[in-house]
A and B are shown apart, each in its own frame.
Chain A
Amino acid sequence: MVQFINSLFNGISLSSIILLTSLGLAITFGLMRVINMAHGEFLMIGAYMTYVVQQFFIHYLPESVGDLYYIAAIPFAFGVTYLLGSLLERFVISHLYGREIDSLLATWGISLILQQAARNIFGTQGVNVTAPSFLNGGVTIGKCTFSWNRLFIILMVAVCMFFIWIIMYRSNFGKQMRAVMQNRTMAQCMGINSRKVDNITFSIGSGLAGIAGCSVALLGSIDSTVGQNYIVNSFMAVVLGGVGKLLGTVLGSTIIGSASIFTENYTSSTIAKAIVLLIVILFLQKRPQGLFVIKSRSLDE
């Protein structure tokens, strides 16, 4: 029982990280039909930025505020990845719209470049951040201990989700974004600058991956492959959830995250990956369109 609850808890925290990265993938694919192979590297950059901010605090700021580094790292990581995402969209992806294979190859190339850049800057050895002291330990209920850093990750993802929901369904930008998703040409004929919507959406997706990087930094050492480790799960979550629906992505991530942790507990992590992949393949045999489908003309065509 205790093991079950612990697995469930770890499953939820992993799911929430997967969710942050899948969201970016899902909205950029839903909006622009572009699969961004470099998305995982934005997670990696977010994680490294957490490390950079911590180093900055250690070297330049008094020790008394040292713990605050993590609070500062979150908006910093978001900002850096948002900006990089914006540049990537502007200078690469926007030239490759409607050319799926080309954009796949180009973003894959960029992911390799970013990984190499990370190795050049930070070395091939992993770097570590120390979790701020307020996230040490955890709460114990009965025999189960819930670590603060995982609780914090879950909370952070919940807050991000809330903001995404507000942006998508309560803001004018969200209205523009949904209009472009459903019918790009008509959205333009309603006076919407769809190029700008694409760029901001892509940037927000990248920024979310950056925040996911902050949470990954709490859980283990950071190296140039950290993005790859998480992104495979995110791709599966997006496929499983069906694109274009927030709820589908949430469910897809939960299933993938929990399935990974549970199978990992009873087998090994490589077998777990294989089993999760198998689940996804079997599921897609039954429902190739994913858990949810958005009925829209633009997707039917």
Chain B
Amino acid sequence: MLKVNGMSSYYGESMVIDDLSFEVPKGKIVGLIGRNGVGKSTTLKSIMGIVKTPSGSVMFDGEEIIKKPSYERVRLGIGYVPQGRDIFPQMTVQENIELGLQPLGGKGKIPDYIFDLFPILPKFAKRKGGDLSGGQQQQLAIARALVAEPKILILDEPTEGIQPSIIQNIGAAIKKINEWKGISILLVEQYLDFVMEHTDSLYVMEKGSIIYQNTTSDADKTEVQKLMTD
């Protein structure tokens, strides 16, 4: 589904990621974990095309996308939930969700299952996106990314700064999205228990490279924990 190969990424002149390769198979949930500042978000931004990636390859659904502008990547079927959610603050919740239709040219209907996943959203429809709490914004951001029914959903630390009960909801939603719609998921996280519970396989990242990879069922949690703290 998504295959990154030998990719390097830059902010201006400074290289953050060098020769990175990993893969998200079709219909699977893949975790990408690592300490603060190792380049997890940068990896996702590279896939989205919002940081410079002068070399390497990003294959999506059999197509090379590394040279494509962000909006075209999204139209091919990538849904993105950034760290910090990036809700449009001056727009209502309704408008934020409707923006999810942009990859389809702004037309179409919002699939009903989104409100089954996040039943609180209709209650806030008329409120400004910027006025929601962090947990509510997180749910809104995931819903927004699902509206156009992407083939892959990319989540950047969806549990960051969120209370346990909402984390449970989000975890359950991730499972359902994957099961109901067969959407592949790339999950960046720091919260190891969450990753162990919700993924099929995982990668550990350190200073812009992958230092460990395994299926989640075979992975030894204490070993992974050690990689993330050393």
Contact = CB atoms under 8 A, between A and B. Distances in A.
A186 B88 contact: yes
Contact of B69 (A175, A188, A294): A188
A171 to B, nearest CB: 9
A297 B99 contact: no
Contacts of B106: 172, 175-176
A192 B103 CA distance: 7
B89 A191 contact: no
Contacts of B50: 185, 188-189
A68 interface: no
A178 B98 CA distance: 13
Interface in B69-98: 69-71, 74-75, 80, 82, 86, 88-91, 95, 98
B102 interface: yes
A59 interface: no
A191 B90 contact: no
B86 A186 contact: yes
Interface residues of B, number: 27
A179 B88 contact: yes
Contacts of A186: 82, 86, 88
Contact of A192 (B49, B71, B89, B144): B71
Interface string A174-211: 01101100110110111111100000000000000000
Contacts of B91: 178-179, 182
B25 interface: no
Nearest to A171: B106
B100 interface: yes
Contacts of A295: 89-90, 130
Interface string A260-301: 000000000000000000000000000000000011110000
B66 interface: no
A189 B82 contact: yes
Contacts of A194: 71
B48 interface: yes
B104 to A, nearest CB: 8
B75 A296 contact: no
A295 B130 CA distance: 9
Contact of A189 (B70, B98, B105, B107): B70
B4 interface: no
Given A176-B102, A295-B130, A189 B74 contact: yes
A54 B137 CA distance: 56
Given A190-B74, A193-B71, A296 B98 contact: no
B170 interface: no
Contacts of B80: 189
Nearest to B95: A175
Contacts of B49: 188
Contacts of A176: 102, 106
Nearest to B49: A188
Contacts of B100: 190
Interface in B97-122: 98-100, 102-103, 105-107
Contact of A297 (B89, B105, B144): B89
B89 A296 contact: yes
Contacts of B144: 190
A176 B71 CA distance: 12
B129 to A, nearest CB: 9
Nearest to B81: A189
Interface string B14-51: 00000000000000000000000000000000001110
B89 A188 contact: no
Interface centre among A183, A186, A191, by most chain B C-beta atoms within 10 angstroms, is A191
A194 B130 CA distance: 22
Nearest to A298: B89
B140 interface: no
Contact of B148 (A191, A294, A296): A191
B98 A191 contact: no
A191 B71 contact: yes
Given A186-B88, A189-B80, A189-B86, 13 more contacts: A175-B98, A179-B91, A179-B102, A182-B89, A182-B90, A183-B86, A185-B50, A186-B86, A188-B70, A188-B71, A190-B100, A192-B102, A296-B89
18 contacts: A172-B107, A175-B106, A176-B106, A179-B88, A182-B88, A182-B89, A182-B90, A182-B91, A185-B50, A188-B50, A188-B70, A189-B48, A190-B74, A190-B103, A190-B144, A193-B69, A295-B89, A295-B130
Q: Which 8 A-B pairs have the closest CB atoms?
A: A191-B103, A172-B106, A191-B74, A188-B70, A186-B86, A191-B102, A182-B88, A193-B71
